[in-house]
A and B are shown apart, each in its own frame.
Chain A
């Protein structure tokens, strides 16, 4: 086809080859210049400085209480970091650093080797004092691969007061990293409480910067701006429903005894107060807890890490009589005015004698009266008339032994035994119907968490429903606050039953010989129920649950003090004091002075 232009094309192709050779020669010449002529100089330069990417840790979002007082914040701390790749090869540098920091050389090496990325700054020691910082910075000539990094550290100004609700942060585990949510070795993550529950909101977004190092000394690392450098973004602020003033008051009243106090708003499920004693200082975890500190906390017999309000199950004691009475009413076994054989201080069932807590006996009582004075004999007889299966069936229906779904991790659920459970525990046919007598007064194998009791009593107070309990008031959104609507839970329980139970609970506090009279507040009708749970290890657990005001309930309150005695003597007075404080602080009720009331 190309006859005329064939030779012309060939000529042009040859010219192109010549141009190509010329260009290649140019490149080779330049490479020769760089690598052979200037090679030594460039090699020296290549050792002169290097640049590494370094994360800037985002401060976690603040956690505040319902009044806006800070529960968890961040403070700036200084950490000493090293670049594993270069520092691991510098024995002299590690030697100097170990003397300044006062740690073993091997400790430094191990920290560096743990890092997942050999050229990113790795934290060797967190939160050092200012003297150490200035020493490291002054000796930059001897420490070219070390840098001081400002890091936000979690700070809990109220220390142990809200330890269980807020929880604590700690270094991520391998499992957290494997989940692929962007965590790396040494990152901090919420381990318990609100810190864990709302981790995604609280954690924020780390920033990125680049640092230029000068291994030959002469200057410390210098910031190097790159297109993808970005500042960190602080985590979102979280406001809780908790009132720290009340929290403080409750822990003062509990003194050093083990126990728990919960107060929930019946109108919204807002948890105003949730104290668990003893507490711990979450600040000890903030920089990574030392193993000796950890041992000390774990080996403590009082188990301070346990949030007793949601993670402890207790025998409910006489508080459970409300449930037993409810079952009796719903099943039509008793009515408000039903009477059994009078209480003589004990009850004979089969060949066993079941004692009432009042040795001299209560005499003849109707249902309301039996609840008011917490007569055991009345409830032994009621329990005898109920089928054993009913306890579990109603517990399930009324969600008494179901996790409440509170927004705190690690909640346990209670245990209301079924016949099959007794078979499992004692062997088939090895147990008698006596167990249901004990069950009826809230003793025996029965175990409930304080929060479960609170929710059921809230339903009684409200007339059949309660709101799912929660500690979260609102989360700071990108612009506005985000508020979650409370979730209402309705229980299948007839209003006539509720009326009787409410009336009985009022009598517990208001009647002259009511067991809960210590919780009385002048001017406000309080309804409640005492619980005294026998316990093989020492004194009884004293508990008290109540709601107020009787006619238009606002608050449900539960108090338990372990190994302290009778509910009416120990728990009820505490409940009265706290209840009074809550009504004054949160509902603007001006109440007469306690002394005048008496």
Chain B
């Protein structure tokens, strides 16, 4: 095993360990060692899976991209029929010993599929871009029906950095992303005007073709116009969460409560934290799903600024390591996969931690390596195994 791999593994295991401690801290009053022990088992299984996958040749794994993607899409369809989940959602298969969450696996399936497709194309046409979006939208829409807005958004977003990595002009990436940014800004007129102004300036001074300028503008205005209708179609809890994000102080006891509590918990940690297992906010059932989505609030409260900074630096170091590893790879599939997976983790990490700090809306996205969850853990280690497999065989190209 190479030094790069060893460094990555050490950081991953440290993060997993901190995760287990935090999970134990947040669940010991209600479930004792239960969750922590299960998490350790998942880590061990994931580690074994990584060692196994690492031995497979990257070209074999590449050949698996399409069937793997296909299977994940089928599973996402199936979970809508036989799945279970909290509050009448259909997010996981109840297998007895675990709740298998196909949307976690779909993340890898999609990244593999996109890497596979983009490694084959030469140059970009409208057709290839449409195909890339189609590939991303199939699982994203299925996940949206579960419904799991957060994961759906992440699945949709992942297409942009992968197109970017594959060499699409960055200005085109911005054009493609603009409708989504417009959507995000649509709730506040001022924000939308600023964004639209910037876009117009870019379009005017960029000296693009008239049809492209008109199309981008038309789409953006269109998105802004239909946003209210889309809003009508969101589930109440999704609306609450979005409202809570935009106006968190409006209703402390309503949907903003969760994030406000998380913010208070983290803030009250101060410099050194309240000490491991000594958090006062977490044990009182203040923050639901604290061992999964809100794990960072335990770290913030109990380990303070020192601990939070440490966790963020470790995550940053790990993600940078992955990106550097990508730069050492030779074939496009490996590079795109490694890059796509890393950006996926960056997005998840930012949304998750941002949510506990109340700078992002509440979604059900796990914090990579730290949150409790079997599917999430196995997914991470599987991807890590694929990246190591690519790294191991990089000199063959």
Within 8 A of A (CB), among B233-287: 237, 253, 257, 263-271, 280-281, 283-286
CB-CB under 8 A from B285, the residues of chain A are 51-53, 119, 210
Is there an interface contact between B267 and A2, defined as CB atoms closer than 8 Å?
no
Within 8 A of B (CB), among A16-31: 16-17, 19-21, 23-24, 26-28, 30-31
CA of A159 to CA of B332, assembled, Å: 85
CB-CB under 8 A from A222, the residues of chain B are 253
A residues engaging B (CB < 8 A)? 1-2, 5, 8-10, 12-13, 16-17, 19-21, 23-24, 26-28, 30-32, 34-36, 38-43, 45-47, 50-53, 85, 117-119, 210, 212, 222, 224-227
- A-B CB contact pairs (8 Å), 21 listed: A5-B167, A8-B167, A9-B165, A9-B327, A12-B167, A16-B323, A16-B339, A19-B346, A23-B350, A24-B313, A28-B312, A30-B359, A31-B300, A31-B357, A34-B263, A35-B300, A42-B263, A45-B268, A46-B281, A50-B281, A118-B29
Please give the distance in Å from B313's CB to the nearest CB on chain A.
Answer: 8
Instruction: Say if the beta carbon of B112 comes within 8 Å of chain A.
Output: no
- Count of chain B residues with Cβ under 8 Å from any Cβ of A? 56
Please give the distance in Å from A5's CB to the nearest CB on chain B.
Answer: 6
CA of A381 to CA of B273, assembled, Å: 95
Is there an interface contact between B309 and A45, defined as CB atoms closer than 8 Å?
no
Please give the distance in Å from A225's CB to the nearest CB on chain B.
Answer: 7
Is there an interface contact between A35 and B266, defined as CB atoms closer than 8 Å?
yes
CB-CB under 8 A from B309, the residues of chain A are 28, 31
Is there an interface contact between B323 and A46, defined as CB atoms closer than 8 Å?
no
Is there an interface contact between A42 and B284, defined as CB atoms closer than 8 Å?
no
Is there an interface contact between A224 and B332, defined as CB atoms closer than 8 Å?
no
CB-CB under 8 A from A46, the residues of chain B are 264-265, 267-268, 280-281, 301
CA of A36 to CA of B272, assembled, Å: 10
CB-CB under 8 A from B281, the residues of chain A are 46, 50
Top 7 A-B pairs ranked by shortest CB distance?
A42-B267, A46-B268, A34-B267, A43-B268, A39-B270, A35-B305, A50-B284
Is there an interface contact between A51 and B326, defined as CB atoms closer than 8 Å?
no
Is there an interface contact between B165 and A1, defined as CB atoms closer than 8 Å?
no
CB-CB under 8 A from B327, the residues of chain A are 9-10, 13
Contact of A119 (CB < 8 Å), options: B268, B284, B319, B357: B284
CB-CB under 8 A from B374, the residues of chain A are none
Using an 8 Å CB-CB cutoff, how does the interface string of B158-196 with A read, 1 for contact, 0 for none? 000100110100000000000000000000000000000
Instruction: Say if the beta carbon of B288 comes within 8 Å of chain A.
Output: yes
Is there an interface contact between A45 and B165, defined as CB atoms closer than 8 Å?
no
Is there an interface contact between A20 and B316, defined as CB atoms closer than 8 Å?
yes
Instruction: Say if the beta carbon of B304 comes within 8 Å of chain A.
Output: yes
Within 8 A of A (CB), among B302-351: 304-305, 308-309, 312-313, 315-316, 319-320, 323-324, 326-327, 330-332, 335, 339, 342-343, 346, 350
Residue on B nearest A50 in the bound complex, by CB: B284
CA of A31 to CA of B161, assembled, Å: 27
Is there an interface contact between A41 and B316, defined as CB atoms closer than 8 Å?
no
CB-CB under 8 A from B280, the residues of chain A are 46-47, 50
B residues engaging A (CB < 8 A)? 29-30, 87, 161, 164-165, 167, 237, 253, 257, 263-271, 280-281, 283-286, 288, 300-301, 304-305, 308-309, 312-313, 315-316, 319-320, 323-324, 326-327, 330-332, 335, 339, 342-343, 346, 350, 353-354, 357, 359, 397
Residue on B nearest A21 in the bound complex, by CB: B316
CB-CB under 8 A from A27, the residues of chain B are 312, 350, 353-354, 357
Given contacts A34-B357, A39-B271, A46-B268, contact A119 B283 (CB under 8 A): yes
Is there an interface contact between A2 and B316, defined as CB atoms closer than 8 Å?
no
Is there an interface contact between B346 and A23, defined as CB atoms closer than 8 Å?
yes
Residue on B nearest A117 in the bound complex, by CB: B29
Residue on B nearest A51 in the bound complex, by CB: B286
Please give the distance in Å from B293's CB to the nearest CB on chain A.
Answer: 14
Residue on B nearest A42 in the bound complex, by CB: B267
Please give the distance in Å from B357's CB to the nearest CB on chain A.
Answer: 5
Residue on B nearest A224 in the bound complex, by CB: B253
Is there an interface contact between A1 and B331, defined as CB atoms closer than 8 Å?
yes
Grouping DSSP codes into helix (H, G, I), strand (E, B) and loop, the B interface class, with mixed when no group exceeds half, is helix
CB-CB under 8 A from A227, the residues of chain B are 87, 237
CB-CB under 8 A from A212, the residues of chain B are 253
CB-CB under 8 A from A38, the residues of chain B are 267
Residue on B nearest A39 in the bound complex, by CB: B270
CA of A13 to CA of B323, assembled, Å: 6
CB-CB under 8 A from B304, the residues of chain A are 35
Is there an interface contact between A50 and B267, defined as CB atoms closer than 8 Å?
no
CB-CB under 8 A from B266, the residues of chain A are 31, 34-35, 42
CA of A46 to CA of B308, assembled, Å: 18
Is there an interface contact between A35 and B271, defined as CB atoms closer than 8 Å?
yes
CA of A45 to CA of B335, assembled, Å: 47
Interface centre among B270, B271, B350 (most CB of A within 10 A): B270
CA of A117 to CA of B265, assembled, Å: 21
CA of A85 to CA of B285, assembled, Å: 12
Contact of B346 (CB < 8 Å), options: A1, A20, A41, A47: A20
- Known contacts A2-B331, A42-B267; 16 further A-B pairs (Cβ under 8 A): A2-B332, A9-B327, A10-B327, A16-B165, A17-B323, A27-B312, A34-B266, A35-B267, A35-B304, A36-B305, A39-B268, A39-B269, A39-B270, A47-B280, A117-B30, A227-B237
Is there an interface contact between B288 and A226, defined as CB atoms closer than 8 Å?
yes
CB-CB under 8 A from B161, the residues of chain A are 16
CA of A166 to CA of B290, assembled, Å: 46
CB-CB under 8 A from B263, the residues of chain A are 34, 42
CA of A222 to CA of B252, assembled, Å: 13
CA of A43 to CA of B267, assembled, Å: 7
Given contacts A34-B263, A34-B267, A36-B305, contact A1 B332 (CB under 8 A): yes
Is there an interface contact between B264 and A45, defined as CB atoms closer than 8 Å?
yes
Is there an interface contact between B283 and A85, defined as CB atoms closer than 8 Å?
yes
Please give the distance in Å from B217's CB to the nearest CB on chain A.
Answer: 26
CB-CB under 8 A from B257, the residues of chain A are 224
CB-CB under 8 A from B164, the residues of chain A are 12
Residue on A nearest B285 in the bound complex, by CB: A53
Please give the distance in Å from B73's CB to the nearest CB on chain A.
Answer: 27
Is there an interface contact between B267 and A9, defined as CB atoms closer than 8 Å?
no
Please give the distance in Å from B314's CB to the nearest CB on chain A.
Answer: 11
Please give the distance in Å from B339's CB to the nearest CB on chain A.
Answer: 7
Please give the distance in Å from B271's CB to the nearest CB on chain A.
Answer: 7
Is there an interface contact between A9 and B264, defined as CB atoms closer than 8 Å?
no
CB-CB under 8 A from A12, the residues of chain B are 164-165, 167
CA of A53 to CA of B283, assembled, Å: 11
CB-CB under 8 A from A9, the residues of chain B are 165, 167, 327, 335
Is there an interface contact between A31 and B312, defined as CB atoms closer than 8 Å?
yes
Residue on A nearest B331 in the bound complex, by CB: A1
Residue on A nearest B280 in the bound complex, by CB: A46
CA of A225 to CA of B252, assembled, Å: 12
Residue on A nearest B270 in the bound complex, by CB: A39
Residue on B nearest A210 in the bound complex, by CB: B285
CB-CB under 8 A from B301, the residues of chain A are 46
CB-CB under 8 A from B312, the residues of chain A are 24, 27-28, 31
Is there an interface contact between A42 and B268, defined as CB atoms closer than 8 Å?
yes
Please give the distance in Å from B315's CB to the nearest CB on chain A.
Answer: 8
CB-CB under 8 A from A43, the residues of chain B are 267-268, 270
Is there an interface contact between B268 and A30, defined as CB atoms closer than 8 Å?
no
Please give the distance in Å from A119's CB to the nearest CB on chain B.
Answer: 5
